[in-house]
Chains A and B, each alone.
Chain A
Amino acid sequence: MIIRRLILGLCLVLAWGAAAPAQEIAPVVPKATGTPHPEGNAYMRRWHMQMMRHDRDVTMYQGVRPVDASLNACFECHTVRDDAGTPVTVADERHFCRTCHDFAAVKVDCFDCHRSTPEEYDEPPAHAALSRPPGLLPRSLSDIATMQAYLETVDPEADR
């Protein structure tokens, strides 16, 4: 009897384990370092944008630099590192901001101007492509010869 119960229990546990990923619809938020926000995660999820928007205006117009909410402060704890231990930029879908924002399909404009990694990290130019306006060619195509070669590949029949 006890064995039967154990087997039943084991089956239930296995079934739960197998079913769990299918029910998981929330994004997997990367673990942060440092002490948790005293306001709680729910508060931060709801209000982080308002906090940053308020403090950015205070900084820019009134010059108050040591503010509570800043992107730089975010990345002190919310930096996601790849397997090699290198911080990932917003070009990588593992980036802290992108895990939720991709899920919610909300485009983040912050990183058109702000860096998406801690200051000490030397960012590769990879994430530039994300903010490139459509139709703007890379600098390597800016001289006429390269441009013509490029246009040849696009439409060789065109009369130039």
Chain B
Amino acid sequence: MTCRTPDQAQAPSRRDFLRSGAALATMTLAPGVTLMAFGGSEAEAAADSGKRWGLLIDASRCAPGCSDCVSACKTENGWSGHGDPERDVQWIRKVTLKEKATGREVNLPMMCQHCESPPCVDVCPTGASFKRDDGIVLVDKHICIGCRYCMMACPFKARSFVHEPVTNQKPHAPRGVGTVESCTLCVHRVDAGGIPACVEACTAAGHGAMVFGDLRDPESEISRRLAEFPSAALRPDLDLNPGVRYAEI
């Protein structure tokens, strides 16, 4: 027996009707009156399991001292620091690696690596940490309880905890005290067919150190470059198959 009250049964009707646009594009309301329901094209622009979004970062083009990607991310997603690295949120940060034997230094941006098997999703006790069908790893802040288990599980220290109340958030990037957050690969831009703000800023500044694209599409620029030139996943020992890969490190 189903336990739906008349109210519950009635509620989704309008929504289902509008949502059904993907399957049923037009509907005849009355003779001569046709309702065009939108939704078909939106469904294509949304999280698609046939895609896997990824980034290729060419460390040799990442200039020391340049933080264009970090400031672009801050502006786009409305986060900032208070000058206290112990508590500040960092969706993306610049890291300098030095090989002790030779003294060679390499600069690169570090952010959520959008793993295929994300440890943060494995450990999340509430299911707030999740991976979209197109490979983007996100936090559902509606069910995040702020336990920070994911922060401990992440081998890249990519996640941050919001310690203080936030105001003036961007509409597309809600963020609030008591929840964990990280790079979203600018999911709001990707859903609209765009590229992440960091990649855009890096390209606009002429560095060209970051390439964004679909790893499943062999014709995409990122796939062609990955096929042609050597690149590395960070912490390959963990077998996480990250969506972010680095060249020239």
Contact = CB atoms under 8 A, between A and B. Distances in A.
Nearest to B141: A113
B155 interface: no
Contacts, number: 95
Nearest to A73: B171
Interface residues on B, range: 35 or more
A36 B172 CA distance: 25
Contacts of B140: 60-61
B176 A63 contact: no
B167 A123 contact: yes
A113 B174 contact: yes
Contact of B187 (A63, A89, A119, A130): A63
A124 B165 CA distance: 12
Interface stretch (B10-18, B23-31, B55-63, B117-125): B10-18
The main secondary structure of chain A at its interface with chain B is: helix
A64 B174 contact: no
Contact of A63 (B134, B165, B179): B134
Nearest to B133: A62
Contacts of B38: 66
Interface in B187-232: 187-188, 190-192
Nearest to A50: B11
A133 interface: yes
Contact of B42 (A39, A61, A64, A133): A64
A159 interface: no
Interface of B: 7, 11-12, 14-15, 18-19, 38, 42-43, 45-47, 82, 84, 130, 132-134, 138, 140-142, 163-171, 174-179, 187-188, 190-192
Interface of A: 39, 46-47, 50-51, 54, 56, 58, 60-66, 68, 71-72, 89, 112-115, 119, 122-133, 136, 139, 142
